[in-house]
């Protein structure tokens, strides 16, 4: 019987997860990493307004999570941007929300991710917490037999190798994976699939820093507090002006400020990379890839910078592939570890 393997990437901006496998296609979905607490299981909204959310019990409270969580009555954005995030009830609510949307009651192997800087510190505790029975509301549970935590950009490396048909050769190459996320800017140097710890790290310089900085500038400009981070994010990605006080607002003059955050992060990373000339693959992934691309190209002018389709889902797709390879080797223990398996 085939083992059920699933992957979840609880990021500070979005929670990404695998919903199923169809042939070689790994199907993914996501929802904002926002969990609204309430004391009861039934969310308070009119019957006519069906929202795509679930209420997840964690400890004494219930947390509403899901794609439509922004419609919840409470306008407080419950983001948990700190290093103890994985130990918070909000993290557990987001993870269980993803489990509930997978529509399975048992998972043989669950793969989850951690920022590079926290990986060795939090790996075993997170794996222990993730294994076992999870309440997902409505009296339903999901049982996880085994959990495995990996450094977030490691997933992207596996995904890149699979997408570019490099599974056979990536095991002998040196790679750098750069992953600008919502809260952290992660990078990973590997020899094959093995993490070179002393050259890999993460810093708190992500898209949320860019959005906060631009919101402060816009607030000064319009003479009123402005905190619509989603509108700023959309404007940066689409190039279209956000509408503020019923008028299109020109973001152009603030772009150098946004790019300066990316330059600072890339400059810090560059100091950690000992022999850039030996890197055979430089891969840029993550939700902030579009904004950091220019700074990365400037830092490595003699390299080709590789990107992947749907960079936001690169880590979780790679988690899934690595998990499937691990599960296959667990079934047949005599088999050699393949290139797509994380050591």
pLDDT at 135 over 60: yes
In a domain, 188, yes or no: no
Q: How confident is the model at residue 337 (pLDDT cuts 50, 70, 90)?
A: very low
In a domain, 178, yes or no: no
- Provide the mean pLDDT of the chain: 89
Q: How confident is the model at residue 85 (pLDDT cuts 50, 70, 90)?
A: confident
In a domain, 42, yes or no: yes
Q: Residue 271: which of 198, 181, 322 has the closest Cα?
A: 198
Q: What integer pLDDT is reported at residue 74 of this predicted model?
A: 52
- Strand pairing category for 174-180 and 185-191: antiparallel
For 256-282, what is the mean pLDDT? Answer: 95
Per DSSP, which regions of 23-60 are E strands? 25-32, 36-38, 54-58
For 14-34, what is the mean pLDDT? Answer: 93
Q: What integer pLDDT is reported at residue 52 of this predicted model?
A: 84
In a domain, 141, yes or no: yes
Q: How many CB atoms within 10 Å of residue 50?
A: 9
Q: How confident is the model at residue 36 (pLDDT cuts 50, 70, 90)?
A: confident
CA dist 301 and 100 (Å) reads 45
Tokens encoding 263: 């330059």
Q: What integer pLDDT is reported at residue 334 of this predicted model?
A: 46
Q: What integer pLDDT is reported at residue 79 of this predicted model?
A: 54
In a domain, 171, yes or no: no
The CATH number linked to 64 is 3.30.420.40
In a domain, 45, yes or no: yes
In a domain, 306, yes or no: no
Complete DSSP assignment for 170-212: GGGSEEEEEEE-SS-EEEEEEETTEE-GGG-EEES-SHHHHHH
Q: Which residues, 6 or more positions from 170, have their beta carbon under 8 angstroms from its beta carbon?
A: 157, 161, 192, 193, 281, 339
Complete DSSP assignment for 79-141: ---STTGGGSHHHHHHHHHHHHHTT-SEEEEEEEEE-GGGHHHHHHHHHHHHSEEEE-STT-E
Q: How confident is the model at residue 244 (pLDDT cuts 50, 70, 90)?
A: very high
The structural domain count of the chain equals: 1
pLDDT at 255 over 70: yes
Task: Answer whether 89's CB lies under 8 Å from 63's CB.
Answer: yes
For 242-266, what is the mean pLDDT? Answer: 95
- Strand pairing category for 194-195 and 185-191: antiparallel
For 259-287, what is the mean pLDDT? Answer: 95
Higher pLDDT among residues 81 and 180, named by residue: 180
In a domain, 213, yes or no: no
For 20-30, what is the mean pLDDT? Answer: 92
| Phi and psi angles of residue 157, each rounded to the nearest 5 degrees, phi first | -65, -45
* Beta-bridge partner residues of 17: 8, 29
Q: How confident is the model at residue 48 (pLDDT cuts 50, 70, 90)?
A: low
Distance separating the N- and C-terminal Cα atoms of the chain: 25
Range of the domain at 120: 5-152+314-331
Q: Residue 153: which of 197, 110, 121 has the closest Cα?
A: 197
Percent of the chain whose predicted confidence (pLDDT) is above 90 = 67
For 309-326, what is the mean pLDDT? Answer: 93
Q: What integer pLDDT is reported at residue 68 of this predicted model?
A: 85
Place of tokens 């772009």: 255
Backbone dihedral region for residue 286 (phi beyond 0: left; psi -120 to 50: alpha; all else: beta): left
pLDDT at 83 over 80: no
pLDDT at 118 over 60: yes
For 117-145, what is the mean pLDDT? Answer: 93
Place of tokens 């667990």: 330
pLDDT at 185 over 90: yes
CA dist 205 and 214 (Å) reads 14
Opening angle at CA 13, ends 64 and 68, nearest 5? 35
Tokens encoding 130: 């993730």
Tokens encoding 8: 């979840």
Q: How confident is the model at residue 115 (pLDDT cuts 50, 70, 90)?
A: confident
């Amino acid at each position: 019987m085939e083992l059920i393997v699933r992957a979840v990437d609880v990021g500070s901006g979005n929670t990404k997860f695998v919903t199923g496998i169809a042939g070689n296609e790994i199907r993914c979905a996501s929802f904002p990493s926002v969990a609204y607490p309430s004391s009861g299981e039934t969310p308070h909204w009119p019957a006519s307004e069906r929202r795509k959310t679930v209420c997840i019990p964690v400890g004494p409270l219930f947390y509403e999570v899901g794609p439509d969580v922004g419609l919840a009555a409470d306008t407080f954005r419950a983001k948990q941007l700190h290093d103890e995030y994985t130990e918070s009830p909000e993290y557990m609510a987001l993870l269980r929300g993803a489990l509930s949307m997978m529509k399975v009651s048992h998972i043989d192997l669950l793969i989850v991710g951690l920022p590079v800087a926290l990986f060795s510190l939090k790996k075993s505790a997170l794996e222990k917490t993730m294994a076992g029975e999870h309440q997902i509301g409505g009296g339903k549970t999901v049982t996880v037999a085994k959990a495995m935590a990996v450094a977030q950009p490691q997933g992207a490396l596996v995904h890149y190798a699979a997408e570019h048909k490099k599974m056979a050769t990536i095991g002998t190459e040196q790679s750098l994976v750069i992953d600008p996320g919502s809260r952290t800017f992660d990078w990973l140097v590997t020899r094959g699939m093995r993490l070179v710890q002393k050259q890999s790290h993460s810093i708190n310089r992500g898209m949320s820093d860019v959005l906060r900085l631009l919101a402060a500038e816009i607030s000064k400009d319009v003479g009123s507090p402005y905190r619509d981070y989603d509108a700023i994010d959309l404007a940066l990605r689409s190039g279209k002006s956000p509408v503020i006080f019923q008028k299109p607002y020109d973001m152009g003059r603030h772009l150098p400020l946004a790019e300066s955050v990316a330059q600072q992060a890339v400059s810090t990373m560059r100091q950690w990379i000992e022999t850039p000339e030996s890197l055979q693959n430089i891969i840029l992934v993550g939700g902030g890839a579009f904004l950091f691309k220019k700074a990365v190209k400037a830092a490595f002018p003699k390299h080709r910078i590789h990107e992947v389709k749907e960079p936001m889902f690169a880590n979780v797709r790679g988690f899934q592939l690595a998990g499937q390879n691990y599960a296959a080797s667990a079934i047949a223990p005599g088999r050699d570890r393949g290139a797509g398996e994380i050591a």
